[in-house]
Amino acid sequence: MERRRYQRADVFVQLGVRILPLEKQSAYFSEISAAAAASDISMKGESNDADIYPEFLTELQEKTASMVKVLDSAASVEAGDGFHDLPYKQINLSGSGVRFLCDNKCSVKDIVELRMVLPLQPPMPICIYGDVVRVLESDDGYGAAAEFIAASDEIRHDIAQFISALLDCS
């Protein structure tokens, strides 16, 4: 029996799904949105100890580099494709893929763009792409399963961490 690489969980997240047109199916990449760049940078407390400042500056430099990377990625996101208006939907999520209900008919081998907001502090907006591997028609729409493609190890890790934390709490 094949063991899954990532844990799965049913989660309730903001989600937008669109099927990519054929001409855009070769030019996609997954990203964490710039909205996530407002990560928590805090001083480790007031201190006259000079040893804390090199540590703080190193942390600040790492976070600044991460924010620049996110902002560079966000520059390529199409205008009007924001995350704040996405509807809430229940999905089954893991670091390797997602099962979701799609309003529009999709087919196996379609490439879908999934925009979701993981309910973390701060919230983590993610734009990720999936290769549809299964579709089942139902009264509510089309139940689809997609394997993530063009997703960095960092994004997969962030999703896996989110799922692991959820499962630890339940």
The ranges of the chain annotated as CATH 2.40.10.220 are 1-33+80-170
Residues 33-53, mean pLDDT to the nearest whole number: 48
Model confidence at 43, pLDDT cuts 50, 70, 90, reads very low
Which of these, 12, 152, 167, 34, lies nearest to 95 by C-alpha position? 152
CA-to-CA dists, residue 76 to 10, 42, 140, 141, 160, angstroms: 30, 29, 33, 31, 25
Which CATH number does 1-33+80-170 carry?
2.40.10.220
Q: Kindly state the percentage of the chain with pLDDT values over 90.
A: 40
Place of tokens 């962030």: 158
- pLDDT value for 23: 67
pLDDT by residue (tens digit) across 119-145?
888 888 999 999 999 999 988 889 999
How big is the chain, counted in residues? 170
Model confidence at 9, pLDDT cuts 50, 70, 90, reads very high
Model confidence at 32, pLDDT cuts 50, 70, 90, reads low
- pLDDT value for 4: 67
- Burial of 150 from C-beta contacts in 10 A (0-12 / 13-18 / 19+): middle
